[in-house]
């Protein structure tokens, strides 16, 4: 029986390196999970926008049909028929847009199904209305938080630690391994009666040292381990810089979408609705032509769609921030941001 014992500290280094690599695998799994959550949210909000675009377009078609009926009443009273033609042209344009939006449902649903592992042809129900997340984010806190929560950065940090242990293990190869053992030999009774130890089976202790004489190989292994550590350090630095840049872009997109959402909801859309009413009254009283009424309707449609687009862009940007940071922006995480400042 024999057992080889590596040099002092070798086993603990191997254990630590294996533990770091196991945690790296966990962080890589977390990274994939975070990206998948982002893809689902991004596709879901796009599906919601499609629903709202279809609804708003349908509402504007109905509005134009009412405008057309008003114009036809004026024609019957002796007015110009050009207004009716203009209304019909606008209705035709919106009906064509509506058809395109309705046909676009299949590819949007297919993308959402793909993120959730469902058959691409399975038709999902329309998303319901959602409450916009109230998230008072702080960019400085998010940047400080990035290193502690992003799974890609955490995985690379563990890679650096594992490679540092690999260097120490490479140095251990310059030291000998020790082998301890015991040997038992069955001799039998023997044929010489004069021998005093006749019939006694010997037990022998063994001790040996494996001397590392292949120094060129060991030095090459040490250089390789140092190069791998250096490469992992550069990869970590690159990931930190890249993710900080991506967070800056996602932060800009979030702030810009939030500003536009508030602008269209609180200012532009109410003004467009009021402008449409004024244009209708002016046309019915004969103070303006039908084209001004049509222009007011177009403007309202544009602002309604722009508001929905900004609302969706904000939520998609927030999902992008969550992917980069590696954590969902909940009330708990917001409080942690404030405490980090």
Q: What pLDDT score was predicted for residue 205? A: 92
pLDDT given at position 332: 44
Output the pTM of the full model.
Answer: 0.83
pLDDT at site 44: 96
The confidence score (pLDDT) of residue 339 equals 57
For residue 336, the model assigns a pLDDT of 56
Q: What is the pLDDT of residue 335?
A: 54
Neighbours of 175 (CB within 10 A): 16
Per-residue pLDDT, 139: 87
Q: Phi and psi at residue 229, in whole multiples of 5°? A: -65, -45
Phi-psi region of 199 (alpha: psi -120 to 50; beta: other; left: phi over 0): left
Sign of the alpha-carbon torsion through 40, 43, 45, 47: negative
Per-residue pLDDT of the chain (341 residues), as tens digits, is 999 889 899 999 999 999 999 999 999 999 999 999 999 999 999 999 999 999 999 999 999 998 888 888 877 877 667 888 888 999 999 999 999 999 999 999 999 999 999 998 899 999 999 887 776 788 888 888 888 899 999 999 999 999 999 999 999 999 998 999 999 888 766 665 666 666 677 889 999 988 888 789 999 999 999 999 999 999 999 999 999 999 999 999 999 999 999 999 999 999 999 999 998 888 877 777 788 888 999 999 999 999 999 999 999 999 999 999 998 876 445 455 555 54
What pLDDT, on the 0 to 100 scale, is given for residue 242?
96
Compute, in degrees rounded to 10, the torsion defined by CA atoms 94, 97, 101, 107.
170
């Amino acid at each position: 029986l024999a057992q080889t014992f590596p040099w002092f500290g070798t086993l603990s280094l191997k254990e630590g390196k294996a533990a770091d690599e196991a945690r790296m695998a966990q962080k890589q799994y977390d990274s994939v999970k975070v990206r998948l959550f982002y893809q689902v949210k991004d596709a879901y909000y796009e599906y919601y926008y499609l629903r709202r675009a279809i609804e708003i377009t349908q509402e504007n078609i109905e509005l134009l049909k009412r405008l057309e009926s008003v114009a036809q009443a004026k024609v019957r009273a002796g007015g110009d028929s050009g207004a009716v033609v203009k209304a019909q042209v606008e209705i035709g344009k919106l009906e064509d847009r509506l058809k395109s939006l309705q046909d676009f449902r299949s590819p949007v649903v297919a993308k959402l199904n793909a993120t959730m592992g469902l058959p691409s042809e399975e038709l999902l129900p329309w998303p319901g209305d959602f409450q916009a997340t109230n998230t008072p984010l702080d960019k400085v806190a998010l940047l400080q938080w990035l290193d502690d929560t992003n799974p890609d950065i955490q995985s690379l940090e563990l890679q650096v630690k594992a490679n540092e242990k690999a260097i120490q293990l490479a140095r251990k190869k310059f030291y000998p391994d020790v082998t301890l053992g015991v040997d038992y030999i069955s001799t039998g009774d023997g044929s010489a009666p004069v021998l005093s130890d006749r019939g006694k089976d010997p037990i022998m202790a063994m001790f040996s040292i494996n001397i590392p004489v292949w120094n060129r190989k060991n030095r090459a292994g040490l250089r390789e381990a140092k190069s791998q550590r250096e490469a992992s350090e550069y990869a970590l630095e690159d990931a930190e810089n890249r993710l900080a840049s991506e967070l800056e872009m996602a932060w800009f997109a979030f702030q810009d979408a939030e500003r536009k959402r508030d602008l269209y909801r609180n200012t532009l859309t109410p003004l467009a609705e009021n402008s449409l009413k004024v244009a209708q009254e002016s046309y019915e009283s004969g103070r303006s032509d039908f084209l001004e009424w049509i222009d007011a309707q177009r403007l309202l449609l544009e602002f309604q769609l722009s508001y929905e687009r900004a609302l969706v862009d904000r939520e998609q940007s927030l999902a992008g921030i969550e992917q980069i940071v590696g954590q969902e922006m909940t009330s708990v995480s917001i409080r942690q941001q404030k405490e980090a400042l």
